[in-house]
Amino acid sequence: MLLLPLLVTSLLHVALAHDAQGGKCLTDWRHDDFDVVAAPFFDEAQARLSSWSSTDKDSFAGVPVPPLEIRPLAISGPSNNRVDLTFFADGYLQDERDKFFADAARLAEDISGNQTFNTVKPLMNFWAAFTPSKESGVGVGGKPKDTPFGLYRDGTELRGVYYAHPKVAGAACASLGDQCDYPILLGNDPLYGGLGGRFTVITPSLANGALILRHELGHSIIGVGEEYDGGFAYFGPNAYANLSEPVPWARWLTHEKARVERSVMPMQDYAWALLNTSSPWTVTFTSAGMYARHLVRFSVSGMPDASDMRVELDGEDLGQPEAQMCNAEILEFGDEDEFVSKPGHYSLYPTFSQTNKTTYRPTNEDCLMRQVTTPNFCKVCIEGLWLALLQDVSLIDDITMTACSSLSSSSAINPEPKLTTLRLHLVPLAHLRTVPAPPEVTESYSITWSKDGEVLHELANKTEVYVEQGRYAVEVQYKTSEVRVDREGRLGAREEVTVECA
């Protein structure tokens, strides 16, 4: 690693190596119908969207619902007790129907097959809803094509993809009832682009579709803000602002005693520069010169190849940056004793906002809310994800009962009691999973049956019990190593059932 010399003014120089489509770039954005927490560069998008900012379920009344061909992608249980994600097709012609279902299936698998939402998958359903479009692709130059939701880009830049017909999208989602908790508008375009908010907009871009989807779902499902520098929305279980208050993720800290990892951000710029070959983008900044290490980070979009760009710091070629990043930022860090950079270390890592205000995040770069190219959340966000999903999902799907019957033929003098079988249908977690959780996750279900308030020890942990008539209660407690604190008791469920045998 390079050492920055003491108290110097440094020059960062970014140039295109040869003609490439240097696009404006992004790391993240979000617009919500009610609550705008957009990263700064989406002010422009937000202004445009404000005209329909009052879209809510009621205002879809009378809006025609487009024809929808629904296919299940990954179904874990009944929609009234699951969080349902639904992909809607935009810019897919009738004869691109198979491509739509394949694109949606690939994206669902990418975010839940072996990573991101993998361990909570039994709380979720994934659906694909196809509507044929009259034109293929996503509109450009601010003009939608003839498609159900009217997705379009501004100009041709690879950044935001907006929707012209949110009410149609709202009506389509509302028509599915419980089957559509999180609508995802999938625009048929191979390149980068998307938008967060009530409708997550993505493209099936192989490089970025899933990356945008999981990040935006982090915002909308867990309700977390950003973890990257230079934004303004830092909230939720992964954000901490006041060092005099208790650390929200104290239970996840690697070392019991919390400390701030030593770093500073001497330069941060959302330049939005359209790079070209004739004039480089440059910035001058001051380094305190008191840190052992530093990091230069860029986000760039519309760069087909990393070799299209060259970055220099004080005349020294830093080589090719990782492709597909956004703004320009320089961070300085203490050495490994002062700033633990290794993955899996939980501490207080400073995050610097666009106004250089400091908040703290749990890990250096473990979370996709900071590093969008990372496929996973950190443990603090995963715990938040469980608690958020379990707010809407009960661990008990149902209790069913068979008809009462006697064990053997009863005599008139000494009648056998009639018995029934109660079946407890649980959300398929722990030993009930169809696909096992990764080995590092330990989990279990404890089941307690009781009759008239008396615990029936012999029925402990049974999902099928044979009982006579009476009033029964069942209590279920789920435990997972991914949740350490459950103040609201969301990992528990209780149901009662009365058995009456005539």
Nearer to ligand NAG, 273 or 348 (CB): 273
CB of 230 to ligand NAG, least distance (A): 9
C-alpha–C-alpha distance, residues 228 and 57, integer Å:
33
Count CB atoms within 10 A of the CB of residue 325: 21
Contact 71, 128 (CB under 8 A): yes
CB of 80 to ligand NAG, least distance (A): 27
Nearer to ligand NAG, 130 or 333 (CB): 333
What is the maximum alpha-carbon separation in the chain? 104
Structure tokens at 7: 């108290």
Length of the chain: 502
Nearer to ligand NAG, 181 or 308 (CB): 308
CB of 360 to ligand NAG, least distance (A): 13
Cβ-in-10-Å burial (0-12, 13-18, 19+) of 114 comes to exposed
For 476, how many CA atoms within 13 A lie in the half-sphere containing its CB? 24
CB of 477 to ligand NAG, least distance (A): 8
Contact 385, 379 (CB under 8 A): no
Structure tokens at 121: 């998958």
CB of 78 to ligand NAG, least distance (A): 25
Count CB atoms within 10 A of the CB of residue 306: 15
Nearer to ligand NAG, 199 or 352 (CB): 352
CB of 280 to ligand NAG, least distance (A): 9
By CB under 6 A, name the binding residues for ligand NAG: 114-115, 242, 244-245, 264-268, 273-274, 276, 278-279, 288, 356, 444, 446, 460-461
Nearer to ligand NAG, 356 or 391 (CB): 356
Q: How far is CA 475 from CA 76, 465, 479, 490, 495, in A?
A: 22, 14, 13, 12, 7
Q: What DSSP designation does 6 have?
A: T
Structure tokens at 401: 């009962």
Torsion of Cα atoms, 350 then 354 then 356 then 357, to 10°: -70
C-alpha–C-alpha distance, residues 469 and 254, integer Å:
52
CB of 50 to ligand NAG, least distance (A): 29
Count CB atoms within 10 A of the CB of residue 355: 8
Residue 396 forms beta bridges with which residues?
Answer: 426
CB of 428 to ligand NAG, least distance (A): 16
Nearer to ligand NAG, 252 or 285 (CB): 285
Nearer to ligand NAG, 2 or 274 (CB): 274
Nearer to ligand NAG, 96 or 329 (CB): 329
